[in-house]
Amino acid sequence: MNRTADRRQIDQSPDPAELFPGEAKAMAPLGLPGLVPGKREVDLYVRTYMTLLQSSGAISVSSLEPAHLTAASSLHAGAAEPGPDLSALVYSTQRLPSCITAVRDIVLGQSAAAFSRAGFAAMSDWRMVSAPGRRRRWLYDGDATLAAYIASASDLDDLVPTIVAYQIEWNKMHRIIAGDPDLVALIAHASAETPSVALVTETGDRLKLSPADWNRLRGVWGDDTWPNLAAIATSRKRYTLRMLSGSFLGYARATRQWWAPAARLLDHLDIANR
């Protein structure tokens, strides 16, 4: 039997309820036997999110999932599997601030002025947050909005797939937990008091994680393990993504502004002529 052809896959189409009014439903990928995604599929993915992000408002991350699945990144090899892809979850977790578990809306901009023009004038009151695996300037409003400063298209190429992968893996785990009342009870018990070794082991088994993967996930989440699982049990993630002043001209301008002080210093030191 052809295991590849027989392998179950998650539904790759976004839930219509998760799309905004007037937002086109992204085309689901073609499940052609033997198709190995390559540069064409990756380019399609990039064009998809660049086109959508250059629209006038927020987009649902769910609308990017079909193109993400078709691109079949090696960093998210198990994206289409019904079980968790622990490597992708850990990778994306380490590249996003821990507050991502509470966030609903993610806003991308190139400068403080861009955020101010878009109505985010009180960002000086937001809390600066960080991710352990990626240096980037993040600001969190303490509620449901996370802002990220971006300076180039390559920033988007890193950030967008990370957010999409995180949502996919969160929602996989939500389906697993929501479909297992005993697992829901285990998580609730562990969130209320220190869990026994047996409870911890059973939770990992019911999450369809190997002992090594379960230990790895708990190592990454630390003290947030049970609160995170409780949050996952409660609801699916339906992130929105909005890019401010997102033209390549804007990227070029932001890059020039970033480079200008360094260029002046290099000229002053006459580095170019050495």
Query: What whole-number percentage of the chain has pLDDT above 90?
Result: 54
Confidence of residue 56 (pLDDT cuts 50, 70, 90): low
The DSSP output letter for 57 is: S
Q: What is the mean pLDDT of residues 149-160?
A: 88
Which pLDDT score, from 0 to 100, does residue 113 have? Answer: 86
**Exposed/middle/buried for residue 15 (C-beta within 10 Å: 0-12, 13-18, 19+):** middle
pLDDT(54) > 90: no
Confidence of residue 151 (pLDDT cuts 50, 70, 90): confident
Candidates 139, 122, 141, 123; CA nearest to 131 is 139
pLDDT(184) > 90: yes
Residue keyed to tokens 């699945």: 69
Under a CB-based contact definition with an 8 Å cutoff, are residues 215 and 85 in contact? no
Confidence of residue 195 (pLDDT cuts 50, 70, 90): very high
Q: What is the dihedral of CA 196, 167, 245, 47, to 10 degrees?
A: 150
**Stretch among 41-50, 68-77, 164-173, 240-249 having the lowest mean pLDDT:** 240-249
Which pLDDT score, from 0 to 100, does residue 196 have? Answer: 97
Q: Which stretches does DSSP call E strand in the chain? A: 59-60, 105-109, 127-131, 134-140, 145-149, 240-243
**202: its two tokens:** 């059973």
* Dihedral (CA of 172, 230, 89, 20) sign: positive
**14: its two tokens:** 């976004």
Under a CB-based contact definition with an 8 Å cutoff, are residues 202 and 190 in contact? no
Which pLDDT score, from 0 to 100, does residue 38 have? Answer: 67
Which pLDDT score, from 0 to 100, does residue 1 have? Answer: 41
Over the stretch 85-127, which tens digit does the pLDDT of each residue have? Answer: 999 999 999 999 999 999 999 999 988 888 988 888 788 899 9
Winning range, highest mean pLDDT, from 21-25, 76-80, 165-169, 245-249: 165-169
Task: Estimate the crossing angle of helix 153-178 against helix 39-53, to 10 degrees.
Answer: 90
Candidates 170, 150, 168, 146; CA nearest to 159 is 150
Buried/exposed code over 42-73 (b: 16+ C-beta within 10 A; e: otherwise) = beebbebbbebbeeeebbbbbbbbbbbbbbbb
Q: What is the mean pLDDT of residues 127-143?
A: 92
pLDDT(251) > 90: no
